[in-house]
A and B are shown apart, each in its own frame.
Chain A
């Protein structure tokens, strides 16, 4: 399976910017650096779109343009929260107006499949279209659908992506659950210190997956796997060990480990243990200081990994030689664990 194109909208302007000097943030909320949408989406469509729809559709369009694909064999989206802004809008109006005098627009755009549907509508693409909405496995669900659909030989290529947004309300509510740091400091120092909580993030990343290599692609995707609610750190280690063995890879073959620490001491404990246990001499690159923590952050990690393999440049290790094999390991709030193995193609 090959990643022919990758496009992302994130709190970072571009991969090049991450290499030179990542955008710095001091609060506990990293919003996307949104592009000029008029370059990617018809102005008449932009006006009707909420922010998450614009981010998703623009990332998808960018990806398709890179890959020179006009009619993807499938469009598969992962989103944990869906279209929050429209959901809140309709819900608030419904409560405030006591269920009277409501208009349908926000409701219509609140359904979780809106991003995938709008991409299909923009492309007039009648092909397979699916949306996964499973918390920290939303993007992984979309990826497994894509991988198994390609294996079924039903299609030649697939557009697959992950997208989630922060709204003022969602940030306020997730803060009440104690998810975020109260005194975050600079994002670049996210992993220092022992304070509780992380920083919020958001983003949209889309990929074009092909069964066959195309010559000018980003990377080969060797495999992806998930582990739900492990009962011990030993179970996580076993999961990673088995995954690598299944792909005939030893830990020392990994040139770079991209790992999902989010700055919360309790949350990050598992990453530290694993690095000591399995990846002693492996170079590592964290990513949540760049994109923040959110359920589909692995889509950003995959975008980062694909760019690192394609360019041979690693943000955290400017002098290291180009990596041939990258492993991504992430867990979302210790519940949803995922692995991605990529190699140079």
Chain B
């Protein structure tokens, strides 16, 4: 068991809202973010619904206070990271060792795609301005520079579990007195590259996804960014508002089964959840809500469900996949779902798993279908599992009085 690290604030932008307030309202009203493709330009526009942030790059740039030609991934990141700092009530980072640890999966690929189309026609062509922020680290630096964060910047990329890793890495740096404050989470914008990649794997749902449903057909891709602000005890005491909650446990494990598929027993998922519980010193029965990875694919949901069945045997917490609202935001999902987990603790919320109809045959439990507030929630488990067998679980807990 290790010491929990306080979380002072959160920031989020997704298909269901441009800030915390809007996301909360959509979660309460059961409004999903999937629509027909409007901002991404793709040959699959008519066939594949996506969960887009409902703004073009010019509007996002105005909100972010950044130029509109840079990657949408960086714009989304900037908006959510700025909100997180504000939400934490932090006016200035002066005198604090601050860090920005952000995750993403394809960096500035949205712009690289434009560049490459010209480049393939003529290798002397293509605007370098569209390529210069290709690397995953570039988006992180653009945002860190804007926020004035210099002491530590880092980028993690482990596919769909990326930003969960960013969150606990930040916590560890604070625990070991390397940083006083860190904004951690992740960002990803929709790109043709990822859309077509997932499409070749035949795991995209042509309808709106139905996570943890017996008749689930696949996932909808989404985009967005989500960050939590982690602070040292010293910073927590100096803040005008008390920390919202704490990250009490985390674990990273690998499924080591297949590059893209999960093992049938969900070995990696099981190890990640079990390890996070062990680190937090909690028993399975202490968990009040699980924010599932719950992508809606055949493979993920049965693997994750089987691991939960084994670990929580007999006493299953309430659970849901908020990907039924936001779509699967890949490198941002762990960050966005960390924000939703923190909000669940803060306001006593349980989110519905939209469009759920039929319980999965192999599982003795079903996800929640109605929004609840005023629930007594002390501990929330958030799962993020990805390609490459990368599995991470985070546990957020109310601070002890």
Contact = CB atoms under 8 A, between A and B. Distances in A.
A230 to B, nearest CB: 9
B154 A117 contact: no
B365 interface: no
Contacts of A111: 105, 157, 159, 387-388
B200 A91 contact: no
Q: Looking at B44, B153, B388, which has the most chain A CB atoms within 10 Å of its CB?
A: B388
A121 B200 contact: no
Interface in B349-391: 386-390
Interface stretch (B76-84, B85-93, B171-179): B171-179
A112 B116 CA distance: 19
B193 A114 contact: no
B152 interface: yes
Contacts of B145: 229
Contacts of B253: 126-129
Given A124-B256, A135-B138, A176-B128, A112 B117 contact: no
B128 A135 contact: no
Contacts of A192: none
Interface string B127-171: 010011001111011001100001111111111000001000100
Interface string B257-278: 1111000000110010000000
A94 B191 CA distance: 12
A80 B156 CA distance: 10
Nearest to A112: B157
Contact of A113 (B42, B158, B172, B175): B158
Contacts of B196: 90, 94, 99, 102, 107
A302 to B, nearest CB: 18
Interface stretch (A144-152, A196-204, A266-274): A144-152
A128 B197 CA distance: 26
A50 interface: no
Contacts of B271: 126
A278 interface: no
A181 to B, nearest CB: 19
Given A90-B193, A99-B44, A111-B105, A130 B165 contact: yes
B393 to A, nearest CB: 12
A114 B192 contact: no
Given A91-B113, A131-B157, A131-B158, A123 B256 contact: yes
A82 B42 CA distance: 25
A121 B390 CA distance: 11
Interface in B52-87: none
A92 interface: yes
Given A80-B137, A133-B156, A100 B43 contact: yes
Interface in A77-107: 80-82, 90-92, 94-96, 98-100, 102-104, 107
B254 interface: yes
A177 B157 contact: no
B220 interface: no
A120 interface: yes
Given A82-B157, A108-B387, A131-B158, A228 B152 contact: yes
B172 A80 contact: no
Nearest to B113: A91
B153 A113 contact: no
B135 A81 contact: yes
A161 interface: no
A126 B254 contact: yes
B401 interface: no
A202 B257 CA distance: 29
Given A96-B120, A148-B172, A113 B43 contact: no
B58 to A, nearest CB: 25
Contact of B157 (A120, A133, A176): A133
A137 interface: yes
A113 B257 CA distance: 15
B200 A125 contact: no
Interface residues of A, number: 58
Contacts of A112: 105, 136, 157-158
Nearest to A114: B388
A138 B151 CA distance: 16
Contacts of B135: 80-81, 133, 135
A228 B150 CA distance: 6
Contacts of A132: 154-157
Q: Looking at A98, A99, A103, A226, which has the most chain B CB atoms within 10 Å of its CB?
A: A99
B254 A107 contact: no
A99 B42 contact: yes
Nearest to A128: B252
A252 interface: no
A109 B254 CA distance: 17
Q: Looking at A75, A90, A110, A111, which has the most chain B CB atoms within 10 Å of its CB?
A: A111
A134 interface: yes
A95 B117 contact: yes
A91 B252 CA distance: 30
A113 B387 contact: yes
Contact of A141 (B107, B120, B154, B158): B154
A173 B131 contact: yes
A95 B389 CA distance: 29
B333 interface: no
Given A91-B116, A108-B260, A172-B123, A99 B254 contact: no
Contact of B140 (A107, A113, A134): A134
B197 A107 contact: yes
B388 A117 contact: yes
Contacts of B176: 148, 151-152
Interface of B: 2, 42-44, 105, 107, 112-113, 116-117, 119-120, 123, 128, 131-132, 135-138, 140-141, 144-145, 150-159, 165, 169, 172-173, 175-176, 178, 192-193, 196-197, 199-201, 252-260, 267-268, 271, 386-390
Closest 7 A/B residue pairs (Cβ): A117-B388, A107-B197, A134-B137, A104-B200, A135-B137, A99-B43, A112-B157
20 contacts: A91-B112, A99-B192, A107-B196, A111-B105, A113-B157, A113-B387, A114-B388, A120-B254, A120-B256, A121-B389, A126-B267, A126-B268, A127-B254, A128-B253, A133-B155, A135-B141, A152-B172, A152-B175, A177-B132, A228-B152
Interface of A: 75, 80-82, 90-92, 94-96, 98-100, 102-104, 107-114, 116-118, 120-121, 123-135, 137-138, 141, 144-145, 148-149, 151-152, 172-173, 176-177, 226, 228-229
Given A104-B260, A132-B156, 16 more contacts: A75-B254, A80-B137, A91-B193, A96-B120, A100-B43, A108-B197, A112-B105, A114-B388, A126-B268, A129-B158, A129-B388, A132-B157, A133-B156, A152-B172, A228-B152, A228-B153
